[in-house]
Each structure stands twice: as C-alpha cells, then as structure tokens.
C-alpha cells in the first residue's frame, strides 16, 4: 500500500485593513488557524505524514492568492490527500455568488477582491488529483458546497476504469454552518466556536472508535462537543457533506489520529519514559491522577502553538503530588513562566473549568511572577 502524504493548506485572514467595517478583524481567526496548523504539523500518529503550508493573513491580491495556491498544489504533486482549512468571513457578491474574504478583500469591490468559492473549487479540481477535504470556518458556509459538486472528466470515466487505477478521489466538506446561519467566535474564547469544537474533538478522540477518525467521525464529535458546551438557542452546529465522489465516500476514509485510541497504548517495542503521575496508579490518588493525565492531554491541545507544548504543565510536581494524595479542598494550577494573554483568557481558564467539573472542587490558577500573580483568579 502506498504511504499517504496529507497536504494541509491553511487559508483566511484575521485582519481586514481594506474593509470599511473595522469590527471585521478577529484574533480568534488567527488563533484558530495557528492552533490547527501546529496541531497537524506536530501529529505523528495519523494515517500518513502531514505537511502544512499556510497562506493565512497573506496580503496578496485575490489573483496572486490563487496563483500561489495552485503553485503549492503543484509543488506537492506527490500528496495523496488535500486538507484545506479556511477561517474568516464568508459573504455574497450580488446576493448570489458566495466568496471568502482575504486580508486584501475590499468590501466595496468584493467582486474582484474576494475569493469566490467557485474559484477555489476550480483551482483545487485543476491542480490536485487526490482526495480533497475542505473545512470552512465562516458564515453561511453551506453555500460553498454546490461549488464542489460538479464531476470532472475523470469522474465521467469512473464507470470504465477500476477504482484502484484512479486512486482515492472525491471531495468531503466539514462546514461550520448551514446556508442560513452565521458562524460564531464567542466573546472571551480564544478560538471560533467551530475551531474550539474541532480542536477538542481531535484532542480527545472517542474511545468507541478505532485507531483513526474519518471526517464524518470528527464532524459527529464536534457536534457532541458543542452541544455540551453551549445552550441550544446559541450553538451553531457544523455539517458534513460529500459533494463529489468517485467510489466510496472519502468522508468515511481515515483522516486523523484517534487520541483516545492511542492514549494508553505505547508504541510497539518502544520504552516510553514513565510519566510522573504513574506512581499514583495505586492508592487513594489513583482516580485523581487519571483525571489529571486526561487534563494534561486536553490542555496541551487547547494551548497548542506555544513553544514546547509537551512541557507546558512542567508536570507541576506531578500535579502537586496528585493533589495532596487525592483529598483536596481545592485544586491550584501552577504555570512556570508568565502566560500569554490568549492563554490567560482562554486555554488556562478552560482547563480550570474542565477540572472543576470533573473533580467537584474549586479550582484556582496562580501564576508565578508578581505581575501575573495579581491576575490569578478563582473559577
């Protein structure tokens, strides 16, 4: 079997200097793009090797953007799979043509400065010949599905050429919203709602699934995550579509590692170093030690993007000796070295909330330097 090589291309923007409405800028877009790129760039347990390229926040004209994207796809002609993640704003030209905003997009002349979904679909079809996965994190993303619907000449030959000869072909899409709904970036959260669910799903996986997750699996997990975190009258749920297929749906093909599957499975023949919490496998702290190991995996993903994410928690004295041998009145999270603003307002707080829900005791996060200790707060 040919080894898979998965090309990941990140598109979109977080700042829109040519827009008349200045409230279009959104740091959550940049956080989401960076977090997913770093996560997949560091993934070593997927169904193939991931190669990440980014055009995010590039200040190119739409024409130059298209040329650069086509060049990237030709450069990676040996890739078997293409994953495109776009995060930004979606809009309409003349209430009909759906487009994606770039950093260079001008809302007065969106017809010539916006990246039309039809153009993106055409470039992908012309320049890439493997399985395509499109993740759209923007308003009214459902309107883009039809642009990836048409079957090209290769598709018309599918009935006369065997599937192995064609390789894995087709397009699957995971979109943040339907045709009618806006996407959300909740106030105070570091990521968009869709990216928060996506990163959590990839970080957590599902114990009832196999070694790998398909796009359909991930879509289902994202829905579950967001339904648990947000009220029904606020949450916006993603959809999975398979608009263009040659043979079996690529939406059900293995695409990502299942973190829950590999969590307690060391690599065959590998002597993994002992985890500091292993010494609490037996005794009164065993249950809490397991919760803390789960929290460590959870936090490392939420905070991905900082240097050396594996060492972020620094084991915190094996999570403060498994929180005083599992008889806590409260849990105090320590961070060695000052965190970033995004960490303080987002990932660190989310970890504290998550731990409080799992242990039932108050959680406080304290930070070591004087300036940051003043910012520590109870959840």
Could you read off the pLDDT of 305-335 as tens digits, one per residue? 333 333 333 344 444 444 444 444 545 555 4
pLDDT of 144 reads 87
How far is 216 from 251, CA to CA, in rounded Å? 5
**Boundaries of CATH 3.40.50.1460 in the chain?**
5-261
Residues of the chain with pLDDT > 70, as a percent, come to 61
User: What's the Cα-to-Cα distance from 330 to each of 78, 192, 356, rounded to whole Å?
Assistant: 53, 31, 9
- Name the CATH code of domain 5-261 (choices 3.40.47.10, 3.40.50.1460, 3.30.70.100, 3.40.50.300): 3.40.50.1460
Predicted TM-score of the model (pTM): 0.69
Q: Which of 137, 128, 143, 139 is nearest to 250 (CA)?
A: 128
Angle, CA 307 vertex, CA 359 and CA 229 arms, to 5°: 35
User: Cα separation of 12 and 95, whole Å?
Assistant: 21
Sign of CA dihedral 123, 128, 133, 137: negative
pLDDT of residue 114: 93
Weakest mean pLDDT among 113-127, 209-223, 324-338, 351-365: 324-338
By C-alpha distance, which of 356, 346, 1 is closest to 189?
346
Does residue 37 register a pLDDT over 70? yes
Least reliable range by pLDDT among 63-67, 249-253, 293-297: 293-297
Among candidate residues 71, 79, 207, 203, the one with its CA nearest the CA of residue 132: 79
Checking if the pLDDT of 258 tops 50, the result is yes
Of 156, 171, 177, nearest to 124 (Cα)? Answer: 171
Helix axes 62-75, 117-127, angle to 10 degrees: 30
Helix (H) or strand (E) holding 7: strand 5-12
Q: Are 340 and 312 in contact (CB under 8 A)?
A: no
- The pLDDT, as a whole number, for residue 58 is 95
What pLDDT, on a 0 to 100 scale, did the predictor assign at position 316?
42
pLDDT by residue (tens digit) across 62-111?
Answer: 999 999 999 999 999 999 999 999 999 999 987 778 999 999 999 889 89
């Amino acid at each position: 079997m040919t080894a898979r090589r998965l090309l990941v291309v990140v598109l979109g923007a977080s700042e829109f200097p040519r827009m008349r409405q200045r409230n279009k800028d959104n740091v959550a877009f940049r956080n989401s793009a960076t977090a997913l790129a770093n996560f997949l760039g560091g993934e070593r347990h997927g169904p193939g090797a991931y190669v990440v390229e980014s055009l995010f926040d590039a200040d190119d004209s739409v024409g130059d953007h298209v040329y650069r994207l086509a060049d990237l796809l030709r450069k990676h002609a040996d890739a078997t799979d293409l994953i495109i993640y776009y995060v930004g704003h979606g809009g309409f030209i003349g209430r009909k043509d759906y487009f994606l905003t770039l950093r260079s997009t001008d809302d007065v002349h969106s017809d010539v400065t916006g990246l039309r979904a039809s153009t993106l679909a055409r470039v992908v079809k012309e320049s890439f010949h493997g399985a395509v996965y499109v993740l759209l994190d923007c308003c009214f993303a459902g309107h883009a599905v039809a642009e990836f619907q048409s079957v090209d000449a290769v598709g018309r030959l599918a009935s006369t050429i065997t599937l192995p000869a064609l390789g894995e072909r087709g397009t699957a899409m995971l979109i943040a919203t339907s045709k009618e709904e806006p996407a959300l970036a909740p106030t105070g959260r570091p990521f968009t709602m869709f990216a928060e669910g996506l990163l959590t799903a990839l970080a957590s996986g599902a114990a009832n699934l196999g070694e790998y997750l398909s796009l359909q699996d991930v879509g289902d997990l994202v829905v579950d995550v967001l339904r648990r975190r947000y009220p029904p009258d606020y949450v916006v749920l993603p959809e999975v579509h398979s608009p263009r297929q040659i043979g079996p749906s690529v939406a059900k093909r293995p695409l990502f590692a299942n973190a829950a599957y590999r969590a307690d499975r060391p690599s065959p023949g590998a002597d993994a170093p002992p985890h500091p919490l292993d010494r609490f496998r037996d005794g009164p702290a065993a249950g809490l030690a397991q919760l803390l190991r789960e929290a460590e995996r959870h936090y490392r993903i939420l905070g991905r993007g900082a240097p050396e994410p594996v060492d972020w928690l620094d084991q915190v004295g094996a999570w403060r000796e498994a929180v005083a041998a599992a008889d806590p009145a409260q849990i105090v999270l320590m961070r060695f070295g000052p965190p970033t603003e995004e960490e303080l307002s987002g990932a660190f707080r989310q970890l504290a909330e998550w731990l409080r829900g799992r242990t039932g005791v108050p959680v406080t996060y304290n930070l070591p330097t004087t300036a940051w200790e003043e910012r520590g707060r109870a959840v």
